[in-house]
Chain A
């Protein structure tokens, strides 16, 4: 026990640094994912056919291949075409593009489950299609997408762990270093697993709060 506490004490600053790096990458990639996923989702539902096809291809590409291959392609593959990214940018770009594909799909589902009558009614009072999407459809779809999106946030927190393979000192990267430095893989990986659980747990609670705050009165059963 004494030994374990000492290990924890020594590892603590590195774990904090790693957790911050993990949070930084997850946040950046999620924001990039939103920036890509939102227009992609809308375009896949309301865009012209040719646009729907292109966006569909992007989604298939990123959902159909392993994240690790995508990361290797960007970080090790693209340089041979003369396109080189620093580690952090490669990580953000890969995770962001990957998340964008998933977020677009979640949003597409949400957009399609907003009843067709909502669009009809919006057009009937003279809104253009763009206005109707912005003022009527999206505010409803974004509420509907929240549970799926929460899953994506949680998945992202853990998916960031792959970036250690391109030597980014995130939580996982720090764990790898600490484990070999102190010859204590069992203890270190246990501690790091707990760190991830705490990060995910706190995030989950925050997202539930957001869901509750944006609930439309009377629409969902408020049994709790």
Chain B
């Protein structure tokens, strides 16, 4: 591949007090790649996502988003976050706003759009996630799957160059995960670059261009899903993937 990477993470360390979570993590991501990040709990997956969009700036190491080193001093972090969409396990929809309001507020307050323009774009994004008819519902009136789809629409509204998903289906009842994964699959098809922390192995097999197994704050092994699932090199990868694949199948 000769294209310029969209994201380059170089030797990133992150500590919270005495606890070191990321231990020299490096990863390069090409445009339109869908990278599924797996690993045992505590391996630093969520922390990595929060380092990438600077919610928790790295303790050391460097990150480039397209041409710009976003970990450089003096970078406008708010501007960087606009280009990086993030979807949370707990949805984090703004509880006082309708679905439409949730998508619109970033458009009017951050992108400084006019109300009508913001309204139209927000409706378009809700259409993308199939929720136009729920536009005027408040979060408390939506199901978990619907909330997460609104959260995806909210992130898409900012016109991100890359999307981060932090266990987007973990808080959902099993019968609701499908609708969220479908939306994500559609996004991948449209060419969105995505980093997905998830243990949905079906999704990883079908949609991922790469699966990255991390543990102890570093990449243990990475590769295309077929290789990672069929012939992983490391015993640790094999053991972990077998465990979650079994769980996955056992759950169905």
Contacts and interface: CB of A to CB of B under 8 A. Distances in A.
Do A and B interact with each other, yes or no? yes
Interface in B122-162: 137-141, 151, 154-155, 157-158
Interface stretch (B23-31, B64-72, B81-89): B81-89
Interface stretch (A12-20, A32-40, A122-130, A181-189): A122-130
Given A217-B141, A218-B141, A136 B81 contact: no
Contacts, number: 75
Nearest to A126: B82
Nearest to A131: B109
A15 to B, nearest CB: 42
A122 B78 contact: no
A78 B251 CA distance: 74
Chain A at the B interface: SS class:
helix
Nearest to A140: B96
B138 A219 contact: yes
Contacts of A135: 105, 109
B5 interface: no
Contact of A123 (B81, B139, B140): B81
Nearest to B141: A218
A195 B231 CA distance: 84
A125 B106 contact: yes
B88 A120 contact: yes
Contact of A131 (B79, B110, B137, B155): B110
Contacts of B155: 124-125
Contact of A128 (B78, B92, B105): B78
Give the interface centre of A125, A136, A140 by most chain B CB atoms within 10 Å: A125
A139 interface: yes
Given A118-B92, A217-B140, A124 B109 contact: no
B88 to A, nearest CB: 7
A120 B55 CA distance: 8
Taking residues whose C-beta sits less than 8 angstroms from the other chain, chain B's interface range is 20 to 34
Interface in A108-129: 115, 117-118, 120-128
Interface in B94-125: 94-96, 105-106, 109-110
B110 A125 contact: yes
A143 B105 CA distance: 19
Contacts of A120: 55, 88, 92
B148 to A, nearest CB: 12
B53 interface: yes
Nearest to B151: A121
Contact of A126 (B92, B137, B158): B158
Interface of B: 53, 55, 78-79, 81-82, 84-86, 88, 90, 92-96, 105-106, 109-110, 137-141, 151, 154-155, 157-158
Given A123-B55, A218-B141, 14 more contacts: A120-B92, A121-B94, A123-B78, A124-B55, A124-B81, A125-B110, A126-B78, A127-B106, A136-B94, A136-B105, A140-B94, A143-B96, A218-B137, A218-B139
15 contacts: A117-B92, A120-B88, A121-B92, A124-B86, A125-B82, A125-B155, A125-B158, A126-B158, A131-B110, A136-B105, A140-B94, A140-B96, A216-B138, A217-B141, A219-B138
